[in-house]
Structure 1
Amino acid sequence: MADDLSQAGQLLGRGLRARRLELGIAQNVLAAGLCGQSLINKIEQGQGIPDADLLTQLCERLRLPMKQTLRQNYPIRRQPTFSRKVHKLYRAGRFAEVVAYMDATDLLPTLTTDEDLKTYYYYYGWALYQATQEPTGALQHVRTALTMMVPQRPTQYRSLEVLLIAVENYLLADSQPGNFAGFERALAIMRTKRVMDPDENLNVVFYQYAQVLLQQGQVNQAVQTISAGVNWAISHDSHYLLADDYTLLAQAYLQAHQSVAVV
């Protein structure tokens, strides 16, 4: 467990330091009004983890936004006006309004392509879960979207299909602990470069997988998954979800530390 603590702290410290240097901010400038420079140095050396409030402030100062929705939109091409409205509400995190708007707009019968239907059910299912935190109804819509994937095991996948595979596993986490098959399938598709339209949204797969691992007490595997997600984002010139990944690292550190304390 000590290795878990060390790995989480070092990864977080390296990430924050790399971002600080990328922006050309000195340690004392980053620390000003937040904490002592010595604490920043300690964090960057992997010798400590900031608490939630300090981490949030550091990410804000380093221009790493937290709790982001999808970086790129998936259009419902048959209904562009409807699509833009859904995207606007979704990006604002107004998930209950997304569901209400989609319920009130009787456009589903006009969607005739598999791509539009997959997109519709993805947004509806995930917004429903975010609004209610109840996975059963959301899972039904996600699985409906997955039935539109023809064939079910294609050679190449679209980014949205990879997200759907991961989201299905995420929604099953409470009822099927220890089942990570969907996440592993999604990551295998990504790592073997079988995504036709790779985009920054794929960072979500690592984040959701790590969340589930932490919830199930698998700290070491969670840290490894977050590390892979951070490396994936950086190697693809993306900062999307990095702050959220760092928050998970801090949670992993705390969880591991508590386990050590109990022992």
Structure 2
Amino acid sequence: MSNYQIGQAIYDLRIQMNISQSELAKGICSQSFISRIEKGEISPSAELLYSLSKKLGVDINYYFKNNLNPRFDYQLSFCKQVRDYVQKADYEPVRELIKIESKNPYFNNEEMKQFIIWHQGICAYHIDGDLYGAILYLKKAFNLLGGNKKKLNGCQLEIAISIANIYNEEKCYKEAIYYYNLAINRLNEIKGFIDNKILIRALYNYSKLLYRMDRDKEAVENSSTAIQLCLELESNYLLGNLLYQNGLSLEKLGEIKSALHKIEDAYSIFRIQNNYPFASHVKRKINNLKTKVTL
């Protein structure tokens, strides 16, 4: 159910009861917050929706009565909000959402518990700088549904990538390589049955790690595999980043002309995407490579 539909339902009930937004909000939230909910600008948490429902004299499921699977719809909405914030590297709202929804009875199944614990780990690392606590959360989430390497689900594979990314940031390369390989090998096995962006992201981050370790041939192989997957899917997801990373590795291998072509392709994509700050950075790299080619 959309934010607009929930907001419209609350507005209709409020008008039927002949109460103002301020009267509805009293003891629950601000009047302006009610206004934004009714306009469909924001999605109320389950806790807030429950409080509003009691005041409006309806059960919380009233809002979803025309939806075939309201619980699943609500879970999807929550997960999407969390993922959107993580993608923007905006972790404080993630922590707030998790705090509100962690006691929600809608989220008492193992899959949702896994999702919440996973993002508690991400917040512990990015907000608190707590490496030890973050890894404990992430490994708990990873093992929640069993750690059978041959049966890892999509969420577990994304958690494995999160663990690898943190180890990569902390320069714990041996541990990072273990989790990248675990995820990539399984993702290759189930490539047609899962969002391939997960595999592209894993290959990109793994190629960056290999580049840092001066394992440049492997870095080129992994980034090339991801580039080919983007082309097959007709997707620009991380394509500019992959082309740039591929070019950097080729440069270290001494293949300057090939590196230049890849990085020029990356520049074109960043320009199309209006990513001007990074495009400027890449343009400087192009000029540097052109100097090397003419020497």
| Superposition TM-score, scaled by structure 2 size | 0.51
**1:210-247 per-position Cα deviation (integer Å, ceiling 9, x unaligned):** 12112222222111111111122222333211112123
Unaligned runs of 5+ in 1: 1-74
2:228 aligned partner? 231
- For residue 195 of structure 2, give the secondary structure of its aligned residue in structure 1: coil
2:204 aligned with 1:241: no
CA distance in 2, matches of 1:88, 1:181: 27
2:111 aligned partner? 115
RMSD: 3.4
Deviation at residue 256 of structure 1 after TM alignment:
4.7
**1:63-102 per-position Cα deviation (integer Å, ceiling 9, x unaligned):** xxxxxxxxxxxx9866556445424423433223323x14
Alignment equivalent of 2:94, drawn from 58, 79, 98:
98
2:190 aligned with 1:193: yes
- For residue 190 of structure 2, give the secondary structure of its aligned residue in structure 1: coil
Unaligned runs of 5+ in 2: 1-70, 255-291
Mean Cα displacement is larger for which, 198-207 or 83-92?
Answer: 83-92
Give the AA of the match of 1:188. N
2:159 aligned with 1:164: yes
Q: How does 1:193-232 map to 2 (within 5 A)?
A: 193=190, 196-232=193-229
- For residue 225 of structure 1, give the secondary structure of its aligned residue in structure 2: helix
Contact 1:125 1:140 in 2 (8 A): yes
- For residue 112 of structure 2, give the secondary structure of its aligned residue in structure 1: helix
- For residue 174 of structure 2, give the secondary structure of its aligned residue in structure 1: coil
Could you say if the C-alpha distance between residues 193 and 117 of structure 1 is closer, same or farther in structure 2, counting changes exceeding 3 Å?
same
Give the AA of the match of 1:186. A
1:86 aligned partner? 82
Contact 2:92 2:127 in 1 (8 A): yes
Contact 1:158 1:196 in 2 (8 A): no
Deviation at residue 146 of structure 1 after TM alignment:
0.5
Could you say if the C-alpha distance between residues 159 and 104 of structure 1 is closer, same or farther in structure 2, counting changes exceeding 3 Å?
closer
CA distance in 1, matches of 2:90, 2:216: 31
Contact 1:170 1:212 in 2 (8 A): no
CA distance in 2, matches of 1:130, 1:233: 29
Could you say if the C-alpha distance between residues 220 and 88 of structure 1 is closer, same or farther in structure 2, counting changes exceeding 3 Å?
closer
| Superposition TM-score, scaled by structure 1 size | 0.56
Q: How does 1:50-89 map to 2 (within 5 A)?
A: 79=75, 82-89=78-85
Could you say if the C-alpha distance between residues 167 and 93 of structure 1 is closer, same or farther in structure 2, counting changes exceeding 3 Å?
closer
Could you say if the C-alpha distance between residues 243 and 123 of structure 1 is closer, same or farther in structure 2, counting changes exceeding 3 Å?
farther
- For residue 178 of structure 1, give the secondary structure of its aligned residue in structure 2: helix
- For residue 145 of structure 1, give the secondary structure of its aligned residue in structure 2: helix
Contact 1:230 1:245 in 2 (8 A): yes
Q: Higher Cα Rg: structure 1 or 2?
A: 2
Identity %: 12
Deviation at residue 128 of structure 1 after TM alignment:
4.5
Could you say if the C-alpha distance between residues 163 and 87 of structure 1 is closer, same or farther in structure 2, counting changes exceeding 3 Å?
closer
Say how many residue pairs are matched. 183
**1:36-71 per-position Cα deviation (integer Å, ceiling 9, x unaligned):** xxxxxxxxxxxxxxxxxxxxxxxxxxxxxxxxxxxx
- For residue 149 of structure 1, give the secondary structure of its aligned residue in structure 2: coil
Q: Which has the higher helix share?
A: 2
